[in-house]
Amino acid sequence: MKRNVIVGQSGGPTAAINSSLAGVYLTAKECGAKTVYGMLNGIQGLLEGRYIDLSEHIKNGLDAELLKRTPSSFLGSCRYKLPAAEGNEAVYEQIFATLKELDIEVFIYIGGNDSMDTINKLSQYAQAKGSEIRFIGCPKTVDNDLALTDHTPGYGSAAKYIAISMKELIRDSFTIDFKQGMCTIVEIMGRNAGWLTAAAALSKDEDCQGPDLIYLPEIPFDIESFKAKVKDLLAKKISVVVAVSEGIHTADGTYVCELGNSVDFVDAFGHKQLSGTASYLAGYIAGEFGCKTRAIEFSTLQRAGSHVASLTDISEGFEAGKAAIKAADEGKTGLMVVFERTSQDPYKCGTALRDVNKIANDERVVPREWVNADGDFVTDEFIAYAKPLIQGELAPVMVDGLPRHLAVPDGLRERA
């Protein structure tokens, strides 16, 4: 590598996305890159000419360690959908003009499904126009729904946050013996893929009985069957704990949260913003059985909880960034880094490369056989798959009682 690298982060943050950024930066430097630029707010910021020189922020080993422990997207993010090249040449010409101006040799985009669509379009445009810039996708998503990869960096840390928090909530829920019992509904991220909600099962251990029911969005939600299950459980236990995905919906496709009229936002990709599922179900159960209920949403906390990140996840995030640079250094383009598990016990996993065209806009959901017949819990196969991903801790750098993060780059904070 002789010239410059530019890297961006896109979509929702994860606890591992900055570890991938550290992997990209340090490996690019090792490979001889002169300057490593960071787009502010992804491709949208690039179109506005907003980028930074990462060497001004990662000045030494301590900065790199802090970056690995920093929640959110260090460079900021966007949900900008790159239009098709046909009919939108001006957008592409602007991007490539900026890349030429910055003497860019390698373009790395750290993101999920939508971001891989961007890499796909840019690499195809580059090839059509004879550009030598290489475009490599670096995977991240808390949702774990990228195709062709065993799992995705960001998932393990969110799963660990969920497992730890579920364990704490379940313990708390047995505190008081309410007359009619108590039912806690915990709402977990995942619009179409239930990987995160399934992670609630990881809380089950010799010192924790785990949740009683788990409902994923892959399986139509039947409220009558749910009611009957909760009724049976309340007759036996003082506390019933249910994990539900924000995206659970009835057989006719109606989101459960829509039953409570809580949908109020549609993003640039046309995704509905979902929330209120737990609140709706808690109200429903309280109405049916007169028991105490709690509705809890892990909300943004589950993806921002860097203080309980999984070491496995943070390490793999770093490896993904490293592999992306290595691939580009070898002249490859239009590919995404994936993970391949070569051994389950002991857990062994390495990186490989796949055509980004086959990954973009495809969603990998939890296989039906990893959910029990009743559709209300996950199987041991899921546990065996997910458990290795939450192993190990990366001790936060604690200063004055709080985890220290790498300082926010200028240009993200205030309105332009």
Q: Please identify every residue annotated as catalytic.
A: 143
Note whether 413 and 41 are within 8 A (CB).
no
Cα(164)–Cα(334) distance, integer angstroms: 38
| Residue 13 contacts a second copy per CB under 8 A | yes
Nearer to a second copy, 169 or 219 (CB): 169
Nearer to a second copy, 46 or 202 (CB): 202
For the CB of residue 308, give the shortest distance to a second copy in the complex, in Å: 6
Choose one: 92-100, 135-143, 319-327, 408-416; the region binding a second copy (CB under 8 A).
Answer: 408-416
What is the footprint of a second copy within residues 279-318 (CB under 8 A)? 279, 283, 286, 292, 294-297, 299-301, 303-308, 310
For residues 114 to 143, the per-residue mask of contacts with a second copy, x marking binding by CB under 8 A and - elsewhere, is: ------------------------------
Nearer to a second copy, 369 or 414 (CB): 414
For residues 64 to 103, the per-residue mask of contacts with a second copy, x marking binding by CB under 8 A and - elsewhere, is: ------xxxx--xxxx------------------------
Note whether 300 and 73 are within 8 A (CB).
no
The CA–CA distances, whole Å, from 98 to 34, 36, 171, 239 equal 17, 14, 54, 58
Beta bridge partners of 352: 338
For residues 367 to 396, the per-residue mask of contacts with a second copy, x marking binding by CB under 8 A and - elsewhere, is: --------------------x--xxxx---
| Residue 158 contacts a second copy per CB under 8 A | no
| Residue 164 contacts a second copy per CB under 8 A | yes
Note every long-range contact of 45-53, with CB atoms under 8 Å and residues 24 or more positions apart, other chains counting. 45/8, 45/76, 45/78, 46/6, 46/8, 46/95, 46/98, 47/80, 47/91, 47/94, 47/95, 47/98, 48/416, 49/98, 50/411, 50/416, 51/6, 51/102, 52/409, 52/410, 52/411
Nearer to a second copy, 78 or 327 (CB): 78
Note whether 389 and 151 are within 8 A (CB).
yes
